[in-house]
A and B are shown apart, each in its own frame.
Chain A
Amino acid sequence: MSLVEASRLGFLEPAALRFIRHGARLRMTVEGDRSHLHVAVICAFPLSDPTRFLSVRDDEGKEIGVIADPGLLGEEDRALVAAELERRYFAPAVQRLVSAKERFGTVDWVAKTERGERRFTTQNLRENLTRPAPGRLILTDVDGNRYDIRDVEALDAESQRLLFQHV
């Protein structure tokens, strides 16, 4: 018996899934089976593999199943799921660092992100820096917001200089 079978981990067949948005609610129908009025879509690997392995849960938090590859969903369904993920996961990707000033271990950053320019403050960077993958950094500011630097090498030279002054 394979591990997946033995574990009762349920995978959902993307072709059989239909998503409908009702106001703030996302409804999911498994064709030929049943409909779930309110589902949440969660990434199993939000940092290392955000586009695959989505866990779909009902409003009691119970897992309905896992969508291994959402790319196989219908076009509209895919857009709905993407929008749901976009709403759920807020960790703007940093495109450029404008400035970074340090005083007594506190760094004030100004960054251009995919969701607009932002000023934020970090403290104790050793603790508030995660490296989910080589070349990737996530900064957590004093309020718990996260800023995702997907690829350090891809930043321009000035941004890299500012970053490595403090990291």
Chain B
Amino acid sequence: MPLLDPLPAFLESQVAPALASNTLLAAVSTDLDAHGRFGEEWLVVSDDTLRVYDASLAPRIEMNRAEISALSADSLVGAGALVATVGGDRVELLRYSNAHQRKFGRIAKYITDRRRHETARDRAARGETDAEGKSIVVPEAPPRLEPDKEDDRRCPTCRLLLPEGTRVCPNCMSKGKAIRRMLAYLKPHKREIVIIWALMIVGLVFSLVPAYLTQPLTDRVLNPVDPSATLDERLRLLGWLVATLLSVQLLGQAIGVVRGRMAVSLGQRLSHELRSDVFRHLQSLSLRYFDKRQPGGLLPRITRDTQALEVVLVESIQMFFSNIFLFVGIGAVLFWMNWQLTLMVFIPAPVVLLLSKFAWDRLMNVWRRTGHLYSRLTAGVSDSLSGIRVVRAFAKEDREMERFGKQSEALRDASVAADHLWVTFFPILYFIMSIGNLIIWYVGGYQVIEDSGLAPDRDAFTLGQFFAFLGYLGQFYGPLQFMSRVTDYLARSLASAERVFEVLDAESDVKDTETPVSMPAIEGRVAFQNVTFGYDAHKPVLKEVSLDVEAGEMIGLVGKSGAGKSTSINLLCRFYDVQEGAILIDGVNIKDIAQNDLRSQIGVVLQEPFLFSGSIYENIAFARPDASKEDVMAAAKAANAHDFIVQKPDGYDTMVGERGQTLSGGERQRISIARAILHNPRILILDEATASVDTDTEKQIQEAIARLIRGRTTFAIAHRLSTLRNATRLVVLKDGKVAEIGTHAALMASEGEFYRLVKMQQEMNQIIEVV
């Protein structure tokens, strides 16, 4: 099956014969012309020719396919070029933007493979032999076009580009589904919700009673329609009516209190569940997710958005249905009382609905915008405050203030826009509805005056009925107004729900396989096999790195910054997955090892140690909370931390971290080394672990580590090359490739890359000494 793009009609007819005879290999379009300007060109490759058609549909290039020994897709920056090797020359066939990169990459490989296959076949047919004199083996079938990888940036159903870090398509995810998903959180609390709702309905019925009682109050007590009613009767009835109103009020409010209390507890519980869900999920995500996002931006999702969702789940949904109930209930009562008048109530309704429809999209947009800006503001503040030392050191307070000012202004403007819309929309709506009210006053009042002469038992519209009608009307407009605001409530909640679900839907790109291999006791053999990896898929940091490490070896990773030392470590810990090749531990691909088993046996000491708020003891025991105090002290002793810790007033109980005592870099470093030592890992990773301690301390730490690493595989990255003297072997990385491997002595003797680095450092030290 050839690779076929939609073609202009003319070309379609051109390629038709080749397509029919099954000799067409590819007919595809590109989006750049020969001069790199946007424009269409077409590449048509068949068994015997290769043609490039330009926009005038004339073949710009035409060559015999047999002349082309290879085709390559050269990547430029932001674009690429398809280049053919003809004889000894390279001819640029066409250019394409990055959008077509994959397509031309596949074509180049396909055509080249095919050519190679054909050459081999021809040589075999002529009875030639290869360099070693063996006959040439030709696979029966010609090479095939590689299948295109599923473009996982797009939704499989609607091809929409997905938001980063999620597989949920915002287009295919129906709004109804988001609401259903929110409702799923209510399911475990069914019983309470039924009770709350029942109380709500009873309360609503109670709220309808007072308006109903206005009719007897007017028609039988205050201004009796029946002239024969005695004063005594009227007073007694008044008493009864007031007593009824009192008890209705009392019961209604009591029910309100009970319902409110239940709703609050339920709401807070839901809120807690949501927050925990989001936080738990965040903990399970891979580091790549956090590389792309600022912690400050994620913060409001755990706090603000889950809170908003909770409000929706408990309050808004209740309000929604109670208003529908009121709307239908009061509407029915109004119809029953006076249907002609009720119809007039509905005169403004279409306008109200149209106006709401108009406001729907706008409100949704501005709210989403304020949400984003709010996140950005908090992220900016947390960024600036955590970097306060740097800001001070470079006297960039003004710049920070300006930056904050701009963000705050943007938030101000967006909020003003949102609230302006809000405060303009409702008075207009209210005015339109009040027109309906005025119509009732006029028409209803007219009817009362007209009917006042009629006998009371006739089908007359009395003053009392009119007052009751007006009372209900007042209650009727509330829900009607709400109906127009429902859109807005929904908009607000959907935006929050989207943000919360986006986090919940983000999938970790470092996942356990379905049947992870359990490895409770790793020996420590590590192998890198042709590992290629880049944080950005197009820019590999490691290129086909291969390395075999025996259990118990200490490997020093050496190289300039950016050579890929820390990246190798990140891959070994499986913070990221390799793109090509594999990393094996004891012969098992780390992708197949249960992540818990893997990480619990790898101990890492990072360049910038992180201490949690808590005591020093808790920080060391972080990896093994069940460790005895003896072991914690021993680990600290081994890390050369015991002495400075004990001499602090609170000893191991000294609080460190965000709110605790500040420790020096070396102290923090030693605590984190103690943490790793206590962890007792099979594979120990020291990423510039001794960078911030003085040489004396470093020596002591190294001695302790040397005792401990016996039988453990250790990877050490150190900038000071002299510290790696104990290493069994040194691996020198250069530009993402392994440049040299060998012992310290052997590498020095061979006077290669490592020798150069050492010399450079020695010179540096001499310069420093001279100065």
Contact = CB atoms under 8 A, between A and B. Distances in A.
Interface of A: 1, 3-4, 6-9, 11, 42-49, 52-53, 55, 57, 61, 63, 66, 68, 127, 130, 132
Interface in B685-710: 704, 707-708, 710
Given A48-B615, A132-B653, A4 B646 contact: no
Interface string B623-647: 0000001110111011000110111
A3 B643 contact: no
Given A3-B677, A6-B638, A130-B655, A53 B647 contact: no
B634 A4 contact: yes
B476 interface: no
Contact of B642 (A9, A130, A132): A9
Contacts of A11: 630
Given A4-B631, A46-B651, A55 B615 contact: no
Kindly list the 6 A-B residue pairs having the minimum CB-CB distance in the complex, ordered from nearest.
Answer: A7-B638, A47-B653, A9-B637, A7-B634, A7-B637, A4-B634
16 contacts: A1-B710, A7-B634, A8-B638, A9-B630, A9-B637, A9-B642, A11-B630, A42-B651, A44-B645, A44-B646, A45-B652, A48-B615, A53-B633, A63-B643, A127-B659, A132-B653
Main secondary structure of the interface of B (DSSP, over half): helix
B678 interface: yes
A61 B645 CA distance: 12
B615 A132 contact: yes
Nearest to A129: B659
Given A3-B638, A7-B704, A53-B633, A48 B653 contact: yes
Nearest to A8: B637
B653 A45 contact: yes
A53 B631 CA distance: 12
A47 B633 CA distance: 16
A49 to B, nearest CB: 7
Contacts of A68: 630
B766 to A, nearest CB: 35
Interface residues of B, number: 29
Contacts of B635: 3, 7
A127 B710 CA distance: 44
B651 A4 contact: no
Given A42-B651, A47-B653, A55-B646, 16 more contacts: A3-B678, A6-B638, A7-B638, A9-B630, A42-B646, A44-B633, A44-B646, A44-B652, A45-B617, A46-B651, A47-B650, A57-B646, A63-B646, A66-B633, A68-B630, A132-B615
B674 to A, nearest CB: 9
Contacts of B227: none
B653 A46 contact: yes
Contacts, number: 77
A36 B654 CA distance: 28
A122 B720 CA distance: 48
Contacts of A130: 655
Interface in B588-615: 615
A82 to B, nearest CB: 17
A45 B651 contact: yes
Nearest to B651: A44
| Listed residue (A3, A9, A63, A127) with the most chain B CB atoms within 10 angstroms of its CB | A3
B387 interface: no
A66 B637 CA distance: 11
B12 to A, nearest CB: 75
A6 B708 contact: yes
Contact of A63 (B630, B642, B677, B704): B642
A46 B579 CA distance: 51
A45 B631 contact: no
Contacts of B649: 46
Contacts of B650: 46-47
B672 interface: no
A89 B40 CA distance: 83
A4 B630 contact: yes
A53 B629 contact: yes
B620 to A, nearest CB: 12
Contacts of A7: 634-635, 637-638, 677, 704
Nearest to B649: A46
A55 B643 CA distance: 9
B680 interface: yes
A99 B647 CA distance: 35
A42 B644 CA distance: 12
Contacts of B680: 3
Given A9-B642, A46-B649, A48-B615, A3 B655 contact: no
A52 B630 CA distance: 11
B647 A9 contact: no
A1 B710 CA distance: 9
A73 B696 CA distance: 36
A105 B320 CA distance: 44
Given A47-B653, A132-B653, A6 B646 contact: no
A127 B652 CA distance: 19
Nearest to A47: B653
Contacts of B651: 42-46, 55
Contacts of A6: 634, 638, 704, 707-708
Contact of B629 (A3, A8, A44): A44
Nearest to B630: A4
Interface string B723-751: 00000000000000000000000000000
B631 A3 contact: yes
Contacts of A47: 615, 650, 653
Contacts of A61: 643, 647
A8 B634 CA distance: 8
